[in-house]
Structure 1
């Protein structure tokens, strides 16, 4: 039961909140918001830029996506093979095999929350992407601008030549749905376009309809996002990534301990309870909340 003092304060604040909501509705309704399933939120570093609308990182809007996959062989549109990545010389082996993009060779099931190749269980996250920038100049050295243009570079304080980009989370939005994926390679076509990746410029590449983000087959299937179509994307912090098929496989899976405790099952159950609690709370009227 809410205390009378809290009820009086709530009644005083409601008109002010309604006015503020009305002023910001036009700007905030255009793009999706990150849903944080837990009560705790990571406090951004002072060096991390905060957009005027309060969102941690700005959206890159109307970006042409192309599909690529681990194990892809060179073609006219993709001259570089994908058996290894910019940061992983054994990418295909570490993933567990060839990430066959053919629909008949894939599991793509929203009900089961499962998106992966049929032939094996991937050892890395099947939700991966490539962006056209590499922070590494050569072994033991970063590019001169890396510390200046990468928002989280100084926060990580990396060793010389150690990337701070590999594994970075993104939110990708298309067709009324969003998913999350990790940055695992560089491209398409260029690897020095920091003005687009971290700045406000449009992509410098003009091949393949100005393609500026490569997406994996799992991202394609989840969003129904085909090569040549547009999407929006932005960076997100680890704590802002909700549980989903993008956390089902790979190094972030807790697994089962020696005593038989299945932390992955517990995590899914807790996530279900949180969603159920939030749904019930949102359905309550103001009068019910004041009781």
Structure 2
């Protein structure tokens, strides 16, 4: 085995072991919210966690202190796996990724299957089509939505809930930007699904817990083929990640494509405003 492979294997094992020690060996069956699935729009996802008796303190909602100039702290040494839009079921992912937690027509809206085979990709996208959504996407094991409205803990644990709230039908997590780091490279992706495996683990996503043990060596983050390719990841690897405000996200290959892409949305809005300003009298564009 090559030295690099040995280092990578050790890193994955150590991260997996840390998850086991963080939670202990389970002595009974997992709660109903634990599923061998990356989805959260299934009926079992709507079993709500009773948090009425939980009292939160600022320390509970921060895994570590953010670095200077950063609002959110890094989650370090997280086992990270690859998933993709349109992924078929497998032993470790029994539910296909035709839909996401927040988009029942995910594959259709994306434009097709996000083929992960490097031989069928070019410039971070599938060679056969140009995606209609941002190819830099990820999944974290929490869904703020319930069958109706939001989960009861969401307003208290999602840090940006109040500023992002657009009504009971809209997720405050979908589309949020995440920085993902491996070695000296950092990529930026949008949160577009809930998983791996769980959809209720806010204590890890927003708090100080480690990912819980699961079939994928305690994986706590799923990333798209574009993220994999930019970071030079293995199919199972170890990365660091943190939430970022849009103002912190630099331009890059993650800023060019997608109807859901904040960069694209803002660029189009700016183009319309410039066109309106350039018209005689600065009037609105005729519809």
Residue 173 (structure 2) aligned to one of 165, 174, 187: 165
Residue 120 (structure 1) aligned to one of 126, 129, 138: 129
Distance 2:200 2:166 in 1: 19
> Any unmatched runs of 5+ in structure 2?
1-60, 276-287
1:71 aligns with 2:79: no
Residue 232 (structure 1) aligned to one of 235, 240, 243: 240
Distance 1:132 1:205 in 2: 12
Residue 99 (structure 1) aligned to one of 114, 127, 147: 114
Distance 1:52 1:67 in 2: 27
Distance 2:151 2:125 in 1: 34
Q: State the SS of the aligned residue for 2:236.
A: coil
Closer, same or farther in 2 for the Cα pair 1:135/1:205, shift >3 Å?
farther
Contact 1:188-1:213 within 8 A present in 2 as well: yes
For the aligned residue pairs, the C-alpha RMSD in angstroms reads 2.4
1:43 matched residue in structure 2: none
Closer, same or farther in 2 for the Cα pair 1:148/1:219, shift >3 Å?
same
Residue 199 (structure 1) aligned to one of 195, 207, 228: 207
1:132 aligns with 2:147: no
Residue 185 (structure 2) aligned to one of 170, 174, 177: 177
Contact 1:156-1:164 within 8 A present in 2 as well: yes
2:160 matched residue in structure 1: 152
Give the structure-1-normalised TM-score: 0.67
Contact 2:66-2:73 within 8 A present in 1 as well: no
Give the structure-2-normalised TM-score: 0.68
Shift of 1:245: 0.4
Q: State the SS of the aligned residue for 1:142.
A: coil
Counterpart mapping for 1:77-92 below 5 A: 77-92=92-107
Shift of 1:152: 0.3
Q: Highest Rg: 1 or 2?
A: 1
Distance 2:100 2:143 in 1: 11
Deviation track 1:101-142 (CA, whole Å, cap 9, x = no partner) reads 0010001xxxxxx3111111111000000000000111x321
1:214 aligns with 2:222: yes
Contact 1:126-1:218 within 8 A present in 2 as well: yes
Shift of 1:79: 1.0
Closer, same or farther in 2 for the Cα pair 1:126/1:58, shift >3 Å?
same
Q: State the SS of the aligned residue for 1:250.
A: coil
Distance 1:106 1:53 in 2: 36
Distance 2:66 2:233 in 1: 29
* Structure 1, 247-256 or 180-189: larger mean CA deviation: 247-256
> Any unmatched runs of 5+ in structure 1?
1-47, 108-113, 262-291
Contact 1:134-1:191 within 8 A present in 2 as well: yes
2:151 matched residue in structure 1: 143
Deviation track 1:163-201 (CA, whole Å, cap 9, x = no partner) reads 100000000000210000000001001100000000010
